[in-house]
Amino acid sequence: MEADDPVEPPAAFRDRANVATDVRERFATAWPEAWDAAGDLLDWFEPYDAVLDWDGEGPPFRWFAGGRLNASHECLDRHLAERKNRLALRWEGRLGETRAYTYLDLHREVNAFAAALRELGVEADDVVTLYMPVVPELVVAMLACARLGAPHNVVFAGFSADALTTRMERADSAFLVTCDGYYRRGDAMNQKRRADRARMALDYDLRATVVVERLGGARLGPDQHDYDALVERHAGATVDPVPRDAGDTLFQMYTSGTTGTPKSVAHTTGGYLAHVAWTSRAVLDVKPEDTYWCTADIGWITGHSYVVYGPLALGTTTVLYEGTPDHPERDRVWEIVERNAVDTFYTAPTAIRSFVKWGEQHPEAHDLSSLRLLGTVGEPIDPSAWRWYHEHIGGGECPVVDTWWQTETGAILVSTLPGVDAMKPGSAGPPLPGIDAAVLRPDGSECDPGETGLLAIRSPWPGMPRELAHATDWGRAAAGEEWCYLAGDEAVADEDGYITVLGRADDVINVSGRRVGTAEVESAVVAVEGVAEAAVIGVDHPTRGTAVHAYVSPEVDRAADDSLRESVLAAVEAAIGPLASPEQVVFTPELPKTRSGKIMRRLLEAVANGEEYGDTSALRNPEVVGELEVRREGVSDE
């Protein structure tokens, strides 16, 4: 993907931007002390002794060492003096319902729920799992956990019961807050049944379950509590925010990695929150008087950082959206922007590609003049979609920030600064000030401009996860002799240092901006009776970016028929959830393998994407490749 000609930031935006043009210089001359700018955005119970405490070489990295704070206090209490009656949350429900919470309302409900959780036995450092759709109670529960110093473990509501069990067991979590159900498009989905199945499969007993009523009529078992009843009973309670060390865990979550099991990522209270607040201010240009809307589901890192913690830490109004962009109509998103006079809109390329496909008549039917800034995250965006977004949504007047980051990085690391940097459609931009991102060769040396390599971060950053800060085996990546974090992405930098991220370089695929581990899907598929072997790959898709395809080789006496296909799909849905369901299941008597027996996934990817795959003579079974091409065509004609 080639980046387009640069687009200069509009002067009107620059004049009001939160960051000034000398910000890069400041970080370049005083690193890491310049990160004080992020620490200063927080209100510390105990000031930190050093911005970064380390030996100058490698881990451990202790950001804001000595500082103590509480994230619930940062997002609520400290705003009460000046803006208790300003809206903290505006919720847009799937059926067209709306709810609004002022900072005072949210503070009260978080206190009441924190008191309830404490009564149920939750103490500092207990992990509380939250398995809920995007409803205000999810934000309340996150902040109530933070108030108690209890790390939350949010599991995306679309994950299956099995996926929930794994994520609870791995986190050793004995408390669950869930919901009776939610609506997908117009249909009611029973979430409590899934939560109950997960609970029964756990190899220990839960200490308490709280159920939020969204659909109504759920029957509660022993040790299950109704959220509303708890909050009502504890109305008026106050729970002092528990002071936490900067390095203490604020939350953990699981993401897909390169192995068959999800990878745990724990974020810190001080470094994470400071980094998220600073980037919300500098990159998303959030101002307290704004209405800000990031469309991400709270179940993923984007929702944690830029729906909840970043905007609330800065005291702005954050919009929560439960629905899908085309329900009930394809102008739903623009109707919400107009009605709420949204200033900043932050979404994913997969949504933008759908908007392009549906046509500009939908945004044109609405007054979008409140918008000041647009953002994108989660996947590479091609220059034509970027330009469409810039022109048809931003009216050519709003900067578009293409923000690169990951679950592991916690917050944005690569992006243009709006009002400061020129934008190059298709390229995320330069590393943010204070971030040492580079494109490296496998030996650790830096690639020349235009040369594709691996994206790496060579110096610590405040939002780094605990696993990296303490350099347990996970994620510590050595390139040459130097400490650095390899992000797992392929990228290229240009002469100006702008980084274009090309996609994953490992066995993680990005489906509609959501991470799916091919190894996780494969382990579900090979567990199906009658399946001998399977290889799961990502194949280019016009709106989703990448789609999951499964190449399945049945056992010799098992017919490759629709019932086997159904079993494969059902197994993936049960193990992970519909988000990982293969769009195509291609049966083949054999998978292409090297002479040493390794499945050649890259070759399968090339075949499926209709790309050149070169010489197959190193394969043990080269004849299978021609066969696969025929099968692929047969399937895509269906």
β-pairing, 128-131 with 152-154? parallel
Closest among 498, 515, 588 to 552, alpha carbons compared: 588
Which of 510, 512, 518, 553 touches ligand PRX (CB under 6 A)? 510
For the segment 331-350, give every residue that binds ligand PRX (CB under 6 A).
none
Contact predicate 247/465, CB 8 Å: no
Site size with ligand PRX, rule: CB under 6 A = 21
The reply on whether position 400 binds ligand PRX by CB under 6 A is: no
Closest among 269, 255, 244, 272 to 460, alpha carbons compared: 272
Which tokens in the block code for residue 519?
């190894």
The reply on whether position 520 binds ligand PRX by CB under 6 A is: no
Name the maximum alpha-carbon separation found in the chain.
74
Q: Which stretch binds ligand PRX (CB under 6 A): 363-371, 401-409, 586-594, 626-634?
A: 401-409
Cβ of residue 502: shortest distance to ligand PRX, in angstroms?
Answer: 8
β-pairing, 584-587 with 545-554? parallel
The reply on whether position 380 binds ligand PRX by CB under 6 A is: yes
Which of 402, 421, 507, 522 touches ligand PRX (CB under 6 A)? 402
- Specify the residue, 52 or 440, whose C-beta has the smaller distance to ligand PRX: 440
Q: Which stretch binds ligand PRX (CB under 6 A): 9-17, 217-225, 333-341, 373-381?
A: 373-381
Which of 162, 180, 379, 605 touches ligand PRX (CB under 6 A)? 379
The reply on whether position 164 binds ligand PRX by CB under 6 A is: no
Which of 110, 206, 428, 464 touches ligand PRX (CB under 6 A)? 428
How far is C-alpha 379 from the chain's CA centre?
11
Which of 192, 515, 549, 632 touches ligand PRX (CB under 6 A)? 515
Closest among 40, 29, 31, 49 to 461, alpha carbons compared: 31
- Specify the residue, 227 or 404, whose C-beta has the smaller distance to ligand PRX: 404
Which tokens in the block code for residue 77?
């209490």
Distance CA 350, CA 374 (A): 15
Contact predicate 518/599, CB 8 Å: no
Which tokens in the block code for residue 5?
């000609």
Distance CA 139, CA 420 (A): 33
Query: Measured between alpha carbons, how far is residue 357 from residues 109, 119, 227, 333, 532 in Å?
Result: 41, 51, 41, 15, 40
Amino acid letter, residue 325: P
The reply on whether position 255 binds ligand PRX by CB under 6 A is: yes
Q: Which stretch binds ligand PRX (CB under 6 A): 38-46, 239-247, 267-275, 485-493?
A: 485-493
How far is C-alpha 337 from the chain's CA centre?
22
Closest among 91, 585, 503 to 319, alpha carbons compared: 91
For the segment 272-301, give every residue that binds ligand PRX (CB under 6 A).
301
Which of 102, 316, 317, 403 touches ligand PRX (CB under 6 A)? 403
Q: Which stretch binds ligand PRX (CB under 6 A): 193-201, 361-369, 374-382, 599-607?
A: 374-382
Which of 405, 461, 483, 587 touches ligand PRX (CB under 6 A)? 405
Q: Which stretch binds ligand PRX (CB under 6 A): 110-118, 398-406, 477-485, 582-590?
A: 398-406
Q: Which stretch binds ligand PRX (CB under 6 A): 104-112, 165-173, 272-280, 486-494?
A: 486-494
Distance CA 472, CA 603 (A): 34
User: Which residues have CB under 8 Å from 206's CB, separation 6+?
Assistant: 174, 175, 176, 199, 223
Q: Which stretch binds ligand PRX (CB under 6 A): 1-9, 26-34, 245-253, 399-407?
A: 399-407
Which of 32, 39, 67, 378 touches ligand PRX (CB under 6 A)? 378
Fill in the DSSP letter of residue 558: S
Number of Cβ within 10 Å of residue 130's Cβ equals 27
Cβ of residue 487: shortest distance to ligand PRX, in angstroms?
Answer: 6
The reply on whether position 92 binds ligand PRX by CB under 6 A is: no
User: Which residues have CB under 8 Å from 490's CB, separation 6+?
Assistant: 452, 453, 454, 455, 501, 502, 503, 504, 505
The reply on whether position 498 binds ligand PRX by CB under 6 A is: no
Q: Which stretch binds ligand PRX (CB under 6 A): 16-24, 79-87, 388-396, 481-489?
A: 481-489
The reply on whether position 546 binds ligand PRX by CB under 6 A is: no
End-to-end CA distance of the chain: 30
The reply on whether position 304 binds ligand PRX by CB under 6 A is: no
The reply on whether position 467 binds ligand PRX by CB under 6 A is: no
The reply on whether position 377 binds ligand PRX by CB under 6 A is: yes
Which of 178, 302, 318, 588 touches ligand PRX (CB under 6 A)? 302
For the segment 103-132, give every residue that binds ligand PRX (CB under 6 A).
none
Fill in the DSSP letter of residue 216: S
Distance CA 401, CA 346 (A): 9
Distance CA 6, CA 426 (A): 10
- Which residues in this chain contact ligand PRX in the complex, by CB under 6 A? 255, 301-302, 377-380, 402-407, 428, 487-489, 501, 504, 510, 515
